[in-house]
Structure 1
């Protein structure tokens, strides 16, 4: 009988954790694992998993203290036993506490805590106890994330054998040679001699596109033939548009809104600029741009330097520093072999950050270990 795997997620949006659970569960089902999903009924994650043919059951929201609720704990223990779950994947802190305790009580063989947030786990007695006695595999998506997570946890509570470094993976065929669904130059009236610079991400505090906007006047002093596409939507959209107007950049910055055709867009960029002030782990857009062969200018936000190597597949700028961002943009513009930086990024991505490699390593390091 194939192993029975449970992915539990009560997110109400469609962020990185939801995407990872959905893509990973779908891929493992294709490898003939028996997949179970617990999610909040009629939320996007729940519906997408259901539409993909995964076994989906509903669960109520999981909070920080759900793990001490005996009725909720009893319900999950019964669910795990009834469905004879062999392995459970948990990502959020609240799910780790609730899910790992219930899984231990239910006798689940493999209990995986995949942590993508680059912040220390609180050194609470219950966290230490759960890591030592319940979790069988602590899965990290980058070295920086792992080191930050365990900064405050004594080493005797999480043995080295439990530590599994498995990078996020991007599907090669989706980004290396995608279908071009819209000609950006034609769609946005961009001239043939103008560079297309892109920023892809939610328009929000974290992604901090204001630092890119505020870098552009300095860039314009030395180079004028470019357009910047801000690809995405979000709460800061109107604020960023107002800032563009204040700086007189309406002719240079194009707000595309939310787009589904990211692979097509990436393939048409001359380079990408990423100005986030922090990142939880390995940003999808950085890995996707690398796989697409796009050179990258990015701030040194938390984990980024583990993926973008300065001078090899892009340039690193100081965090929250528009002047330094402008200097790195100009350096990229003037680079005589800019395409070579993108090609080198693609080679790194194919070797280390492919989706198939990620699934292979989950099987090798965790499910078949």
Structure 2
């Protein structure tokens, strides 16, 4: 049987280790011909693909600025030409901007198997990206939510369940070998006693999210990783374990992220926690750090799987907020502890429950690794993807019929004009002004009142003059 030609589409050139690992293993394990379409031709992700001789193509996925309405058809058609030229059997989109443009282009090009793998629930809980996704989701043959919570959100959007296939973004388990990985030696590095309890949170400091329709309303003005909640939980933990250390491992994401990190450092100073809360900055030895920690925390306000798979693969006892896909990996009372979101008191209780009972904490870590090896490995991810590809290979036509491309393009030209007008008039221009308090009729009412007052004044003056004149006569 001729191997399938599989192409990933994602709007980035940095990070994305999961995409590289998945395509590499799909090629090496199942002999698929793999390619990737990225948003540029330079970056660490580009270098990774090229180092494995995986073909890299480029496309423009920007469509969120008001001026993009004029260039959007050209961007889509350019991608359609590339897809028809390369004749991929499977197009699998990732990340919201590339998902939308890739979804439309692959439908027009009549790619046989069109899939979208959903990186997390964030865009499904925000007004604008949710309706855009819902409006175009029918173009996919299937959608791959990467946690059960995202699947439930799609079901609420009336996507049929038989088109939803949960497959996790799992790391290469070979990089997280608990048995053969030495601890990082953090206690020795910082000069702490050997019995010092170590609590760690490994996450970037992301910028605070703006108040707009691209962001879930419950996240407006907040930093998504929940660092503030972790810091505010620290005094309650230190009250019982005064020699414990809380390590915040990670750097700021861009300048705005650096500002958030600085504000967290200020909060630590205000709470008098400088000797107990340590900002380590970016570290390269994450697997070894997990071997050092007594408790790992994921306190996100919105999340897919976070770093829970990596922590549990390293048998690190883990506390997570009860959001998104975190509850898929950390089963409360079995592989870790779940706590309420944005609740420092409950977070402190969760951490303390593990520090008080090291035997149970160790049991959770061991059970967590066993559970991860069962369901959350790179091998299981590519196996599930392979099964999905083969399932649709048997049920889909060969594709790339020229007449379908023509009539789909004409149909989309009509339907797309209405969708584009709604997006650029309502979501880009009108609704942001509305959210900022713009109410145009208020000015009309104010001016009408002023005019009415002037009329009243004129009538009053005229009436007074008439009375004065008649009284004088």
TM-score (norm 1): 0.89
SS of residue matched to 1:146: helix
Please show how residues 139-218 of structure 1 align to structure 2 within 5 Å: 139-151=144-156, 153-154=157-158, 158-177=159-178, 179-180=181-182, 182-204=184-206, 205-218=223-236
Q: How does 1:334-349 map to 2 (within 5 A)?
A: 334-337=356-359, 338-349=361-372
- Which whole-Å CA distance do the structure 1 matches of 2:384 and 2:61 have between them? 30
CA–CA distance in structure 2, aligned partners of residues 61 and 188 of structure 1: 45
Alignment match, 2:48: 48
1:288 corresponds to 2:310: yes
User: Relative to 1, partners in 2 of residues 1:149 and 1:162: Cα closer, same or farther, differing over 3 Å?
Assistant: closer
Rg larger in 1 or in 2? Answer: 2
RMSD: 2.3
After superposition, residues 298-317 of structure 1 pair within 5 angstroms as 298-317=320-339
Per the TM alignment, residue 68 of structure 1 is displaced from its structure 2 partner at its CA by 8.2
Structure 2 residue 103 is matched with structure 1 residue 103: no
Deviations 1:223-270 (A, max 9, x none): 223222111011222111122222222221221111121111112211
Gaps of 5+ in 2: 207-222, 393-473
Tell me the alpha carbon deviations over residues 179-224 of structure 1, each in whole angstroms, 9 at most, x when there is no partner. Answer: 4374222212221111121110012311121211111112222222
Matches within 5 A, 1:118-133: 118=121, 119-120=124-125, 124=131, 127=133, 130-132=136-138
More strand by share: 1
Partner of 1:319: 341
Q: 1 CA distance for matches of 2:109 and 2:317?
A: 48
- Confirm or deny: 8 A CA contact 2:59 2:75 kept in the other structure: no
CA apart distance, 1:66: 7.1
- Does the residue aligned with 1:165 lie in a helix, a strand or coil? coil
What secondary structure is seen at the aligned counterpart in 1 of 2:334?
Answer: coil
2:13 counterpart of 1:4: no
> Is 1:222 aligned to 2:240, yes or no?
yes
1:23 and 2:8 equivalent?
no
SS in 2 for 1:131: helix
Q: Does 1:239 align with 2:263?
A: yes
1:276 aligns to 2:304 (yes or no)? no
Instruction: Quote the Cα distance in structure 2 between the aligned partners of 1:290 and 1:323.
Output: 24
For 2:382, the equivalent position in structure 1 comes to: 359
Against the structure 1 CA distance between its residues 319 and 130, is the aligned structure 2 distance closer, same or farther, given a 3 Å change threshold?
closer
Q: How many Å apart are 1:289 and its aligned residue?
A: 0.7
Query: Alpha carbons of 1:30 and 1:90: their partners in 2 closer, same or farther (altered >3 Å)?
Result: same
Give the aligned partner of residue 86 of structure 2.
83
**In structure 1, what is the Cα distance between the partners aligned to 2:11 and 2:174?**
30
- 1:248 corresponds to 2:247: no
1:39-62 per-residue CA deviation (whole Å, 9 max, x = no partner) reads 112133323322332111222243
Q: 2:287 maps to what in 1?
A: 263
Encode CA deviations 1:303-341: one digit per residue, 9 max, x unaligned: 322221222122222211112211222111111512111
2:248–2:280 Cα contact (<8 Å) kept: yes
Q: How many pairs align?
A: 358
Q: In the alignment, what sits opposite 2:469?
A: none
> Displacement of 1:99 after TM fit?
1.5
Q: Structure 2: how far apart are the matches of 1:91 and 1:345?
A: 27
Q: Which has more helix, going by share of residues?
A: 2
Contact 2:11 2:95 in 1 (8 A): no
Aligned residue number for residue 138 of structure 1: 143
Contact map agreement 1:6 1:38 (CA 8 A) in 2: yes
